[in-house]
Structure 1
Amino acid sequence: MQVIYTEKAPKPIGPYSQAVKYENLIFISGQIAIDPSTNEFVNSDVATQTKIIMENIKAILEEAGINLNHVIKTTIFLKNLEDFQVVNEIYGQYFKDHKPARSTVEVSRLPKNALVEIEVIAGL
Structure 2
Amino acid sequence: MRQLYSSGSSYEQTLGYSRAVRVDDTLYVSATAAGGPDGRIVGNNLYAQTRYILQKLEAVLTEAGFALADVVQSRLYVTDIAQWREAGRAHGEVFGDIRPALTLLHVLPFVDPEMLIEIEITARRSAAG
User: Structure 1, unaligned stretches of length 5 or more?
Assistant: none
Answering whether residue 15 of structure 2 is matched by residue 14 of structure 1, we say no
Q: What amino acid is aligned across from residue 24 of structure 2 in structure 1?
A: E
* Length-normalised TM-score, structure 2: 0.84
C-alpha displacement at 1:42, in angstroms? Answer: 2.5
* Length-normalised TM-score, structure 1: 0.87
Over the aligned positions, Cα root-mean-square deviation in angstroms equals 1.6
Q: What amino acid is aligned across from residue 110 of structure 1 in structure 2?
A: F
Specify the alignment match of 1:48 in structure 2. Answer: 48
1:76–1:13 CA distance, 2 compared to 1 (3 A)? farther
Q: Counterparts in 2 of 1:1-124, with a 5 A limit?
A: 1-5=2-6, 11-12=8-9, 14-15=11-12, 16-35=17-36, 37-42=37-42, 44-113=44-113, 114-124=115-125
C-alpha displacement at 1:43, in angstroms? Answer: 5.6
C-alpha displacement at 1:11, in angstroms? Answer: 3.7
User: Structure 2, unaligned stretches of length 5 or more?
Assistant: none
CA distance in 2, matches of 1:80, 1:70: 29
Query: What per-residue deviation string (whole Å, max 9, x for no partner) do you get for residues 19-44 of structure 1?
Result: 11012210001000011x32332361
Runs of 4+ in 1 over 6 A off after TM superposition: none
